[in-house]
A and B are shown apart, each in its own frame.
Chain A
Amino acid sequence: MRELNPLLHSQLRLGVMSILMNVEEADFVYLKEKTESTAGNLSVQLDKLSAAGYISVKKGFVGKKTRTTARITEKGRNAFVEYVDALKQYISMQYK
C-alpha cells in the first residue's frame, strides 16, 4: 500500500494543488478567496509547495500593487496524480 504524500495530505496545500491542477495560473487573491484561508497561512503553504518544487511562484507588479501568481509544475502534477491514485487505493480498501 502506497503512503499518502504528507506534503499534499494537508487541507490547505491540497486545496491549493487541486485549484492549480484546474487552472493554468492563479493569483494570490484568487487562491485566498477559493480556499477561504488567511493571507499569512496561505503564504506559508505556498512557500512549502514551492520549496518542494510542486508549484512555481512568480512575483510581479500591476501598477503599484504587487501580484503573486502560482502555477503547478510537472513535478507537482505528477505528485498530485500519485496522491489521487494512493487515495483511490485507500478508499477501495475501506469498501472491501
Chain B
Amino acid sequence: MADTSETRIDPRWAWEAYRPNDKAPWDLKRAGHLYRRAAFGATPTELQAALKKGPQKAIDDLLAGGPGQDAFDKQTEQLAESIVRVNNGQQLRDWWLYRMLYTPHPLREKFTLFWHNHFATSNATVQNAGFMYRQYRLLRKYVLGSFAEMLKEMSLDPAMMVWLNVKDSKKGNPNENYARELMELFSLGIGNYTEHDIREAARAFTGWTLQGNDVVYTESQHDLGEKSVLKQKGKWKPDDIVRICLEEDSAPYFLTKKLFRFLVSETMTPSRELLEPLATSFRKSGYDFGDLVRTVLRSNLFFSDQVYRTRIKAPVDFALGIVRGLEGRIGSTPLAGVLEQLGQSVLYPPSVKGWDGGEAWLNGQTLLFRQNLALALTSTEDIRFGHRCDPAALARKYGKKDDKELVDFFLDLFLQGDVAEESRSRLLLFQEKSHKMKVPVYWTAQDAADNRVRTLCHLVLTQPEFQLD
C-alpha cells in the first residue's frame, strides 16, 4: 500500500452523489465496502438487503440505525453505571466493545471510535471510569452533529481536563498542553498557529478545575486579561478560543482530511482542491459532521475503484467484522484482551495522537495473532469465545451445503467474492479434499461436516484481502 498523491481527480465528480452505472454498478463489492467503512462489516442478510435497497437507501438506513436502539441504550447504560460505581476502566473498555458488537446502530459507534481516536484520551492517565464514560457520551452525543459544539464541550470535559492538565491551569501559571493539542491535533494542524498563539490561548483555559465529579470555575484563578490568539484580541474564555480556531481557513481542511483518511483512503494524499468542496460546505454548515459524513458516503469517490481496499483494517474492525459477519455472540471481555495484543485497546490509546493506524497495524507478530484470533473465533473450540460464533451454524441457517455453495458463501460474506480466481479455486480444491481428511472415529458425520465448514471459513479469513478495509 504505497502512498500515492492524487492529482487527477475532479473534485466535482468526486463528491457528487454516486449513481450506479455500467462501470460502477451497485453490487456486492460496493455494499460490502460501505458496511466495512461505515460500520463493522455486515451479516449475510444485511448484505443482501443492501443490494436490493440500492446505495441511497442502504446509506440512509445505516445513518438512521436499526430498531431497538432505545432499549439497547437503556440496558447498556445500566451496565455502564455499575462499572462506573466501582471505577473499573478495563471493564468500561469491554463495555464499549460490547456496544460496538451488538448495537443496532453500528455507524454511530464506528464514528464515536473515530472521534475517540481524534481526541485520544487514555484512562491509563485519567484513572476514572466515570470521566471516561462521560467523555464517551459526549462523543456519542455529537457524533453526527455539530463538531463546534463537541469541541467546546470537550475543552471542559473532566477526562480531557485530567488528560491534558487543564484542571491544574491557573492564572500566572497556565498549562499549555490543552491549548497546544487543541490547535495541533483537534482543529488546525501543525503550521497553522504559532507558539505565541498557544501561550495566549492557554491563559483562556485557566481557572477551571475539578471538584469531585464536577467542573468548577474559580474566577480568581482565571486570567481575565486580554489575549491575542490567531490575530484576534479580547478577554477570551475557552469557548472563544474554540470559535477563533474554527474561524481559521485551515480548520475545515484539517478535519475533512482526517475524515478522508478514515473513510476514503489511507494511501491517497488528497489535494486541497479535492477537499475544497467538502471543507467549504463543512464550514458553512457550522461544522455539521453528519452532513459531511453523508456527503462522503454518498459520493462517487467513496464508491470508486481508486479508494477500494485502500485501508488496513484496525484490530477492532478485523475482529468485529468476523463476529458480526457470523452473527456470533461472544463475550467482549475476552475479545478486548486479544485486541490489546493486536495493538488496539479502546479507551487506552497509546498517546495524545491516537493510534497511528495504516501499516503500523501489521507486522509478523500481529499478523500471526490475527490468524490465531480468526481461528479462535471460528473453531468453536476456544473456551474464551464459546460456540456461539459458528460458521457451520450460519451456513446451515442460510441453507449452504455443497462445497461450491459454501466457498462462495464465505467469500461473498467476507470478501464479497472479490478474490483472484486462483484463490477461489484453491479454496474449492481444499474443500473437496477435506472430505477425505480423517477425523476421530467417534465424531458424527455432522461433526465432520461442521469442522470442514469452520476450517474453510478460517481459510477465507486468512486471505490477504481480508486484512484490507
Do the two chains bind? Answer: no
Give the B-binding residues of A (Cβ under 8 A): none
